[in-house]
Structure formats: C-alpha cells, structure tokens
Amino acid sequence: MAGRGKIADEDLQPHPRVLVVNKAGEWAPAIAPLHFDKPGIAGVGLGRTFAIEYAENNPQVTVGLIPCAVGGSSLDAWQPGGFHESTNTHPYDDCMKRMQQAIVAGELKGILWHQGESDSNPALSKTYQSKLDQLFERFRTEFDSPSVPIVIGQLGQFTEKPWDESRKLVDQAHRTLPDRMTNTVFVHSDGLDHKGDQTHFSAEAYREFGHRYFLAYQQLTGSSDE
C-alpha cells in the first residue's frame, strides 16, 4: 500500500491536522509521498486521503500516519525477523520500531492494509489466509490493542490482467476477513484504474480508494472520534 500514483500539486498541500512519521522518525506535514520504501518510486497512495477525511470529520483531532508499507513484500517478509531482499528491509521489525516510537504521541485508532500481489502465486496463495490472520492477531497483541479496527482493501481488478486461481484465493482471504475477525472491514476496488502498468493504481484511483477506506472505517466505528 505504499502507493505509486503520480504526484500532483494537490498532494503537496499540507493539512494542518494531518501529520506523518517521516524516515527520520519525526512528525512532519503529511504530503506525498508518505512512504520511503523505494525512493524515487514511491508516490500517491490512499493514506493521505483517508487521513484528511478523518480529520475533517473530527475537527478536535490531529491525525498521525505511521507509514510501514514495503512495496512488493509478501507475508513471509512480515514475519518477525522476516527480510525483504529488494528493499534490504525487515518489514515487520521496522514497523514495530516505528510504532513504538510514534505511539507515545497518541493512540492507535486503526490499521490500513493493502497487500497481496506478491502472494498471488501457487507457492504462497494457499497459506495466505492463515498467515494474514496470524499477522493481524500479532499486531493487536504487540500494540496492546485487541480490538483496533483493521481496514483491508481489494487488489486491483484490471481487465488486461485477469485473475488466476492464486489471486482469487488471496481475494477470498481479504473479503472474508470480517467473517473471521472482529472489528475488521473489507473495501472493494471496483472501477479503479491502473496507472498504465496493469499493476499499480493511478493517483486518482488511490484517492478514491482512500475515500472508500474512510467510509468503511466510518461505518465500522462510527462517524466521530471517541
């Protein structure tokens, strides 16, 4: 969910109550790109739109985003001690460090998850659901937030790239998460276009996806911060 959309002027306009933890571990205005997993490639994602809509609906709140996504990572890389070779990172361990540094400034209000491309193959898709559930349970335990809302989004549905059985298994794990785990919600990607590479959403699609994530979160938790 790091985001690869083309950055426009609107993505560079800070919101006074939307911040992000930057690469140095400092709070900064949340402008694109939020992520830094792949410098020069990271672009517009869905997180900023989500956060702005949350802030606008909760005027007493400052929203803090903690970007932890690693583009192209499978769930195996999200095991404790797991390694992602192309970025030379340890996604889970790095996420834990960033969370521990940032959470002292506020309260964890939700987890936004969009991932699964790299697990959409015969070798990994059959165990994807069990690994996903274990990861989310581990997050809730590590963060001492047993009921923190989790919003999970659907992979891209692009006509040029029909889904095979592996991708369908990953999609099933996503869409049935609310049946397996409390306080979770699934967000569809119907009608969202790619940016021309048949893999990543366009900037416009990411902004719309962020809007859908917020609506789903709002429906799951209520319209105001409590």
Q: What is the pLDDT of residues 7-25, one digit of tens each?
A: 878 989 999 999 999 988 9
Residues in contact with 128: Cβ distance below 8 Å, sequence separation at least 6, in sequence order: 75, 116, 119, 169, 170, 173
Amino acid at 108: L
Q: What is the distance of C-alpha 35 from the center of its chain?
A: 11
pLDDT of residue 2: 57
Q: Which CATH class is domain 9-220?
A: alpha beta
pLDDT of residue 144: 94
Alpha carbons 74 and 66: distance in angstroms, whole number:
20
pLDDT of residue 79: 97
The mean pLDDT value for 202-207 works out to 94
Confidence tier at 202 by pLDDT (50, 70, 90): very high
Q: What is the largest CA-CA distance in the chain?
A: 47
Amino acid at 12: L
Question: Does the CA dihedral 53-133-105-32 come out positive or negative?
Answer: negative
pLDDT of residue 193: 94
Calculate what percentage of the chain has a pLDDT beyond 90.
81
Confidence tier at 4 by pLDDT (50, 70, 90): low
- Using the predicted structure, report yes or no on whether residue 39 has a pLDDT greater than 90: no
